[in-house]
Structure 1
C-alpha cells in the first residue's frame, strides 16, 4: 500500500465541510454502489441516495464537520478512517467514527464498503459490551 494521499478523499472532505451538496454528490460515479456489511439492509446503488442522505445531514446537523484521520491508497482502492461531528438541531451531539473503503476511478467513487457508526456515548466496559452481545436475545 502506498502512503500517498488521495485527492478524491480531500475533495470529499472539503465538499462535506463546505456543506456543498453539488460538489459532494459529484464525488460519486452515477452507478455508485454502497455496501454496509454490518447493516446489509442499508446497501444502495446510485447518487440519488447520496444526495438524499447528505441533504438530510446538512439540514439536521448544520455544523457537521468531517476529518480524515488516516488514509492509504492501494491502486484504485482508498482506505480511509473518518470522524464526523456536529450538533443536531435539537442541540444533541452528532458524532460518528469509522472506516470507509472506497474504489475510486477517475477521481469518483464507484463503490464503498461503509463502516462509519455513531459513537457510543455510554461508558460501558469491554466486559459489559461483550456480555451484551453474547447474551442478546434473552440467552444467559
Structure 2
C-alpha cells in the first residue's frame, strides 16, 4: 500500500494517490493540531496544491516497520518551490491500513534545517 502511495506521489498521479485513502480518512498532526483534517477529498485538495506549489516534488520512504494494521515509516519529501526555494521535509508518518486503503495517519514531519556553516 505505502509503495503504491510513494509511486503515485512521484508520478504526480492525483487519482492513484487519492485512491490510497478511505473516504473517511483522518489525518492527525499531534504537534501541529491545526493541520488535522478528515476526508479523502481534502487529501486530493492538499496534494493538488502541493503539486502546483512544488512541481518537482518527490517522496521516499527511508525506513519502515509494520506493526499489525499500522505501518511506521520515515519519509522524506524534496522539491523546489515556485519561487526557487528548496522544499525539504523529513519525519515519521504512522499509517493505519485497513482493506488496502489508509484510514488514519499521524504525521510527525518537519522541515530539514540547512547545514550549519563551518
1:123 aligns with 116
Deviations 1:7-51 (A, max 9, x none): x11000000000001100111000101110001111111012111
**Scaled by the length of structure 2, what TM-score is found?**
0.94
Q: Does 1:10 align with 2:29?
A: no
Structure-to-structure mapping, 1:1-140, within 5 angstroms: 8-121=1-114, 123=116
Structure 2's unaligned 5+ residue stretches are none
**Scaled by the length of structure 1, what TM-score is found?**
0.80
Could you tell me how far apart the structure 1 residues matched to 2:114 and 2:49 are?
22
Aligned length: 117
4+ residue runs of structure 1 moved beyond 6 angstroms? none
